[in-house]
């Protein structure tokens, strides 16, 4: 299957998925309530208190957290469509299997971008410095990472057909360890060695570290490369697993 | 000879979960010519959906092959998908989507350009009387409206073959009749091959309608509804005041007829021409001095055909949970007086 065909099919699936979201933009933006609550509850706990500096550290983490949470929902949206006949009906169309996955995973990025913008604008008056280019780069990095996570969630959704509990158990069990060991909510500076090892092995750690630098308008090559590598590893594994799973009929 | 629209050879699907294996479709052989409208009729769990899913590339057969317009479906699924439309047992349109958008998406998926896709979608939406509901989330449509959108989605690529899996299940009798009319009209207008599954007898019961009866994953009968029923003949049912008279009458009737069955105080006789035979029987029994309490004649229904073939009533096995082998305990044989109404219209539990 040629790349242009996959791209065209992906854009068909993506537009289809995005349409209901765009019809209720409020629903999309309201999702920032959770990161804002986390901000209010966690920022004062951080070393140094709720200063501009802690905001600079915390906000990119919150954006990354929204990304992860949204992307892991790809599979649950798929399961909804499998329960009715709409997934089946796309399967019997000439759309390529990989585009069904790519279009869906990409769609999860849309609300994340909206939320990132809202979060940045909301924290701006409290001293969050805005570096447009850096933010753009950070969001792009998170988008890559999200598509990979979305593809994994999609594969999990396919594997959980007719057993929703499986999906939710795995999703819930993994979500918080991944978030915490990536140092999204609290810094891991004082963490025991095993936790630091775990953190280093978690691709999200590197993605978040790079996002923080980008949002702050700094561009240290090693951190950015490590972040990109983390995102690409997740993307490649996600697509490989997801597409393999998708191409197996039943 | 032209290429058949559909040709299955020894099509088999066995589902295994743990130690239990269910053979849903069992060496099914079926050939459908281009332009035909065929009803696959069978009780719950007969294997109708599984058969359609294998033909439409949604399931991989355990063994056997499917050819769709000459394409081997398992070997070249992508090619096959260009040529058919599929209306599954569930709803094709996503519940949060607008009906029209879904029709357009399907047209785009089939390679039409934006403008062409929109025009084609509007055309089919108008034809199905859906224009007023086109811009509403599908979850806010009635069952019948949703089903019509499903058909619009299935037809928007002008497929050569259209599959409909229980298109009218869950609809009220009026909507069912409406939908049935739409399907027949579309068949005439488009000339497409159409294969629909149903367990509503009346939907398969037009005289020239080809009916394929499926039970336990096998084809057990395949002919027009008219021929299937004619093969069984009419039923003349005679009622008597007591069992002795019924038994005596049955003995007398067996000298002239091969298919005579007793059930209590009633005797049923299968004949080619019920009304005429009824009169002759009446005369004969009167001459023999046997008093008759009542007589009725009825044409065979598809349910009778199914009952005759399997010993089970299609409607009974339908209202059961699945593949129940039970037959009404009061009438262990297929000789109980048949319902006089040839086209039962009552709703059946889906
Ligand atoms: N994915 C599956 N896994 C296991 N068994 C299955 C699966 N799909 C179908 N079956 C079994 O295969 C048999 C045939 O099912 P199928 O859905 O083809 O029947 P059907 O004729 O379409 O029935 P209905 O009228 O209820 O739709 C049933 O016994 C069913 O339980
Ligand atoms: Mg079925």
Tens-place pLDDT, residues A156-203: 998 888 788 999 999 989 998 898 899 888 888 888 889 889 999 999
**Cα nearest neighbour of A96 on chain B:** B78
B71 shares a domain with B10: yes
C-alpha A93/C-alpha A83 separation (Å) is 18
Residue B33 lies in a domain: yes
Starting from the edge strand earliest in sequence, which strands make up the sheet with B193-198, in order?
Answer: B84-87, B161-165, B193-198, B37-41, B210-215, B218-224
Looking at per-residue confidence, does B333 or A125 come out higher?
A125
Q: Domain count of chain B?
A: 2
Burial class (CB in 10 A: 0-12, 13-18, 19+), B33: middle
Residue of B56, B82, B96 best to disrupt the A interface, most CBs of A under 10 A: B96
Res A49: pLDDT: 65
B221 shares a domain with B245: no
Tens-place pLDDT, residues B191-212: 999 999 987 877 888 777 899 9
- Token pair, residue B264, equals 């209590």
Res A123: pLDDT: 86
- For the cut 50, the answer to whether the pLDDT of residue A240 exceeds it is yes
- Measured by CA distance, the residue closest to atom 31 of ligand 1 is B45
Q: Which of A9, A92, A96 sits opposite B57 (nearest CB)?
A: A92
B182 shares a domain with B275: no
A50 pLDDT tier (thresholds 50, 70, 90): low
Q: How far, in Å, are B29, B237, B330, B337 from residue B298 at the CA level?
A: 33, 8, 21, 10
Contact residues of ligand 1, CB 6 A cut-off: B 15, 17, 22, 24, 42, 44-50, 89, 199
- Our mutation pick for probing the ligand 1 site, out of B50, B62, B195, B314, counting the most ligand atoms within 8 A of Cβ, is B50
Residue B142 lies in a domain: no
| Average confidence (pLDDT) over A91-113 | 88
- Measured by CA distance, the residue closest to atom 11 of ligand 1 is B24
Res B317: pLDDT: 54
Which residues contact residue A122 at a Cβ distance below 8 angstroms, ignoring those fewer than 6 apart? A32, A36
Looking at per-residue confidence, does A75 or B194 come out higher?
B194
B220 shares a domain with B241: no
Minimal C-alpha gap between A246 and chain B (Å) = 12
Domain boundaries, chain A: 3-247
Chain B residues with CB-CB distance to A91 below 8 A: 57-58
CATH of the domain at B261: 3.30.70
Res A80: pLDDT: 87
Res B12: pLDDT: 96
Res B339: pLDDT: 41
B222 shares a domain with B242: no
B26 shares a domain with B10: yes
pTM for the full model?
Answer: 0.83
**A90: contact with B, CB 8 A cutoff:** yes
Residue B154 lies in a domain: no
Tens-place pLDDT, residues A129-167: 889 999 999 999 999 999 999 999 999 998 888 788 999
Tens-place pLDDT, residues A216-226: 999 999 999 99
Which segments in chain B show pLDDT lower than 70?
A: 1, 315-350
CB contact under 8 A, A249 and B56: no
B166 shares a domain with B285: no
Which domain, by its residues, includes B265? 234-298
B191 shares a domain with B239: no
B275 shares a domain with B215: no
B77 shares a domain with B10: yes
C-alpha B68/C-alpha B91 separation (Å) is 24
Which residues contact residue B230 at a Cβ distance below 8 angstroms, ignoring those fewer than 6 apart? B300
B40 shares a domain with B20: yes
């Amino acid at each position: 299957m040629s790349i242009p065909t996959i791209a065209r099919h992906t854009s068909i699936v993506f537009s289809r998925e995005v349409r209901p979201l765009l019809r209720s933009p409020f629903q999309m933006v309201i999702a920032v309530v959770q990161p804002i609550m986390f901000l209010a509850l966690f920022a004062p706990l951080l070393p140094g208190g709720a200063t501009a500096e802690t905001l600079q550290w915390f906000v990119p983490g919150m954006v990354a957290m929204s990304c992860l949470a949204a992307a892991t929902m790809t599979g649950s949206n798929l399961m909804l469509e499998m329960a009715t006949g709409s997934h089946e009906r796309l399967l019997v169309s000439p759309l390529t299997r990989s585009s069904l996955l790519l279009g869906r995973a990409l769609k999860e990025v849309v609300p994340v971008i909206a939320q990132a913008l809202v979060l940045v604008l909301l924290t701006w008056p409290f001293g969050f410095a805005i570096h447009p280019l850096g933010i753009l780069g950070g969001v792009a990095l998170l988008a890559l990472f999200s598509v990979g996570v979305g593809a994994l969630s999609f594969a999990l959704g396919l594997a959980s057909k007719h057993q929703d509990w499986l999906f939710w158990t795995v999703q819930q069990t993994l979500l918080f360890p991944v978030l915490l060991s990536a140092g999204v909510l609290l810094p891991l500076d004082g963490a025991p060695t095993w936790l630091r090892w775990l953190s280093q092995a978690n691709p999200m750690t590197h993605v978040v570290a790079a996002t923080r630098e980008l949002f702050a308008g700094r561009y240290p090559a090693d951190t950015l490369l490590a972040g990109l590598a983390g995102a690409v590893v997740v993307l490649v594994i996600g697509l490989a697993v997801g597409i393999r799973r998708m191409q197996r009929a039943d | 000879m032209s290429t058949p629209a559909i040709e299955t050879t020894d099509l088999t699907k066995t589902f295994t979960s743990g130690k239990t294996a269910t053979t849903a479709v069992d060496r099914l052989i079926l050939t459908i010519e281009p332009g035909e409208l065929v009803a696959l009729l069978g009780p719950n769990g007969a294997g109708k959906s599984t058969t359609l899913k294998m033909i439409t590339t949604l399931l991989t057969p355990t063994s056997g092959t499917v050819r769709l317009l000459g394409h081997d479906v398992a070997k070249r699924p992508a090619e096959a998908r260009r040529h058919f439309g599929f209306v599954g047992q569930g709803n094709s349109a996503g519940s949060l989507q607008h009906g029209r958008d879904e029709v357009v998406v399907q047209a785009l998926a089939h390679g039409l350009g934006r403008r062409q896709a929109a025009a084609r979608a509007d055309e089919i939406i108008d034809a199905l009387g859906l224009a007023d509901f086109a811009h509403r989330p599908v979850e806010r449509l009635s069952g019948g409206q949703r089903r019509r959108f499903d058909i619009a989605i299935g037809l928007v690529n002008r497929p050569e073959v259209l599959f409909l899996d229980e298109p009218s299940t869950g609809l009220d009798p009026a909507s069912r009749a409406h939908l049935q009319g739409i399907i027949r009209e579309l068949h005439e207008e488009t000339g497409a091959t159409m294969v629909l599954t149903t367990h509503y007898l009346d939907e398969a019961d037009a005289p020239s309608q080809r009916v394929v009866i499926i039970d336990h994953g096998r084809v057990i009968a395949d002919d027009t509804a008219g021929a299937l029923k004619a093969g069984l003949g009419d039923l003349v049912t005679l009622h008597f005041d007591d069992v002795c008279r019924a038994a005596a009458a049955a003995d007398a009737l067996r000298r002239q007829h091969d298919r005579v069955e007793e059930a209590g105080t009633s005797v049923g006789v299968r004949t080619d021409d019920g009304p005429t035979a009824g009169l002759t029987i009446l005369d004969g029994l009167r001459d023999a001095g046997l008093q008759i309490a009542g007589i009725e004649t009825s044409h065979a229904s598809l349910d009778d055909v199914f009952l005759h073939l399997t010993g089970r009533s299609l409607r009974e096995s339908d209202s059961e949970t699945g593949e129940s082998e039970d037959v009404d305990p009061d009438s262990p044989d297929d000789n109980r007086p048949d319902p006089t109404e040839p086209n039962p219209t009552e709703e059946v539990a889906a």
